[in-house]
Amino acid sequence: MMLWAKFFRIRQNLVGSLWFFPLLGLVVGGLLALVVREVDAVITLPSAWEFEASAAQELLTIVVEVAGVLAGFVVAVSVVVLELHADSFPRYLRLLYRDRFHLAVVTFILGTVSFAFTLLAFGGSAEIPPLGVAISGLFLIVSFVLFVVFLNHLVHQLRPVAVAADVTKTARKLMAARDQSGGSVVTKEESPPGEPTLVIQAQRSGSVQALNEAALVRWASQHGCQLRSKVAAGDYIIAGQPVMEVFGTRPPGDSTTPIHAMVAMGIERTIERDPAFPVRILVDSAARALSSAINDPTTAVQMLDYLEELLRMIGAQPLGTMRYCDESGQPRLVVPGRTWEDYLTLAVTEIREYGASSVQVMRRLRAMLEDLREVLPADRRPAVEAELDRLDQTLAASFGGKVDHDRAVVSDRQGIGGPGRG
């Protein structure tokens, strides 16, 4: 329990690092070479697998050099892509770091370099195992295949729509795996009664990445009290800012130390426990496309396609402040959560503001809102209706008296050019 937040941060750093898996590949490649040397000493290979000592050395040298060049090229291209995404999709970089295929390619190629180099370093002119030479050649062929697939993957990944698809895919997995067992939506009237007996303050500044709800419930149950979190995933808090309020029995001062280990903090938000973050990424991409420097409303329409998918998933889930109970059914923890109105405002407001002069953005935005009104539960519809009213007011201000007003007020899932639209 005490180490949960630390382990969470370590896991986030390792998963998002660009050095851990390549370093692991180097280590595993070297160890595998040593294993192959031992295996080669106890098995008999066909004569066709035998190599002259000089030929074996030359082949391994070629593998090391060629695989090293491939690894250097992959790293160089990756740096260029990171620079491009840093300018166009700055908040997407955290997901780009986690691209498993990219890390797998770099890891395998560096593992090939390490494997062949270890065979050269530990084998004399007559001690290079033929099995190791054959495996090195096979690894080099696989490295070339991975390199070609990597280039194809990279080219497709540069497109804005690919970024949106990747973000949405990750968000879909997040929501499917989101653990809300024991949690239920509460109203403000059901919040802990009375004044808090203790306020726990943050020891350091940073973005809240996750809360360990299960551990917080256990702690509150052990101390016979109820907790109310003052922060939610995605919040940036300052050292000394209230993090948790304790209601009921006041625990001893030193017993509150574990609370800090149940709130994971880092230098930035993470998509794993923050469903609003993928929405933020897509909205930022759309806003950037609508800027005067880029002026690409079609890309904004593509972002709205994926935003609609996210909003459908979010709107079907229980939203709002969550209450968690212990095994006896006693309320122990209240955590603030975003409402449907919060998510909808985040997804729509800036795109409506920056795309107010674009006919196709207004049409696609209307289509999204009308579809959400039709498919989501009845309690979600008032917020959608309110956004449609705001859209009408925006259109009146932007296109009132203009020749394209009649076209801007039409609903079109393709923005402009959809079948059967004006």
Render pLDDT for 115-130 as a digit per residue (tens, 0 to 9): 999 998 886 655 788 8
Q: What is the pLDDT of residue 92?
A: 58
Spell out where 212-363 has E strands: 225-229, 236-237, 242-248, 263-266, 322-325, 331-335
pLDDT at 78 exceeding the cut of 80: no
Going by C-alpha positions, the residue among 263, 368, 356, 275 that lies closest to residue 313 is 275
Rounded Cα–Cα distance for residues 234 and 142 (Å): 41
Q: What is the mean pLDDT of the chain?
A: 85
How much is the pLDDT for 141?
95
Q: What is the pLDDT of residues 167-198, one digit of tens each?
A: 888 888 877 766 555 567 776 556 667 788 88
Residue 1 has pLDDT above 50, yes or no: no
Report pLDDT for 137: 93
Most confident region among 274-288, 345-359, 402-416 by mean pLDDT: 345-359
pLDDT given at position 183: 67
> What pLDDT sits at residue 265?
87
Which residue is listed with tokens 């020891």? 203
Torsion, CA 242, CA 244, CA 246, CA 252, rounded to 10: -80
- What is the token pair recorded at 16? 């998002």
Strands 322-325 and 183-185 turn out to be: antiparallel
* Side chain identity, residue 334: V
Radius of gyration of the chain (CA): 28
Tokens of 256: 């509150």
Amino acid letter for position 339: T
Q: Average pLDDT for residues 282-303, to the nearest whole number?
A: 91
Name the DSSP class of 344.
H
3-class DSSP state of 361: helix
The whole-number average pLDDT for the span 217-245 is 91
Backbone phi and psi for residue 201, each to the nearest 5 degrees, phi listed first = -105, 155
User: Predicted confidence band at 86 (pLDDT cuts at 50, 70, 90)?
Assistant: low
pLDDT exceeding 70 applies to what percent of the chain? 86
Helices (H) and strands (E) in the chain — how many of each? 15, 9
